[in-house]
Amino acid sequence: MKRIERTFLSVFLVCSVLVVGGLVVAEELAPQLSEEASSDSEAMAVAAASAETDAVNSEEANSEEANSEEERGQTESEQPLSPIRVAIFAGGCFWCMEPPFDETPGVLETISGYTGGTTVNPTYLEVSEKATGHYEALKVTYDSRKVSYEDLLKVYWRNIDPFDAEGQFCDKGSQYKSVIFVANDEERALAKKSLEEAKGKAKEKGTFATQILPQKEFYDAEEYHQNYYQKNKLRYKFYRHNCGRDKRLEEIWGMNF
């Protein structure tokens, strides 16, 4: 009996030690487990906050990019056209076409040259041989705030013979024919309108030979052709008089332009 009691007592003591030991261990580990749980919670919270911040930043970046593209589009669409523009006219000898345009307020520059053909960088001799397809022409740079394209067309008509299908005045050949070279549909419409108006103002009646063609590459003429009427005043006046240009213009237009 005593042996049994001793055995029972031993078992009880062992169980007590285990229980007490477990409680001690539990108590010792509790703060650590609590700290680890807290750390895990904090990490999850930080990760969630970081993800939310990234999402907000991404949304803001996309919004800023969209706004920037919209602003660029508005800037490009709202950018005004330059008031400095170019018109090109063929009216026979380019020496004689420079003075009336140079005298027009708003015209900034006139350059004699060749256009309408296929030869690149043609010379005066090549154009004169009628193998290039080019016309003698004038490039007029103007300020559209001071003079309109319509006004330039009036100057043009007043200085050509629109009935001459062989050239202009004493100069005959395809390179001397009259042409209005247009850059776009707006200029084409204005040129056609001015042609009809010119028909009504001409003192003579007949078929207009002046063409309206798309602009092509313009090649500056040799330097000695530029401002010829200023560099060689006597020769220019002699040529113009003998060509009968002013007399013929008076017959066609009188004071109508």
The residues carrying an active-site annotation are 93
Residues 6+ apart with CB under 8 A from 85: 141, 142, 144, 149
Residues 6+ apart with CB under 8 A from 137: 88, 89, 90, 94, 112, 113, 114, 115, 116, 179, 181, 218
Phi then psi dihedrals of residue 143, to 5 deg: -95, 110
Q: Which amino acid is at 253?
A: W
CA distance 144 to 187: 13
Phi then psi dihedrals of residue 21, to 5 deg: -60, -40
Q: Tell me which long-range contacts 69-75 makes (C-beta under 8 A, separation of at least 24).
A: none
Per-residue tokens: 194: 């001015």
Q: Alpha carbon of 142 to those of 29, 82, 93, 201: distances in Å? A: 92, 11, 21, 25
Per-residue tokens: 203: 């003192």
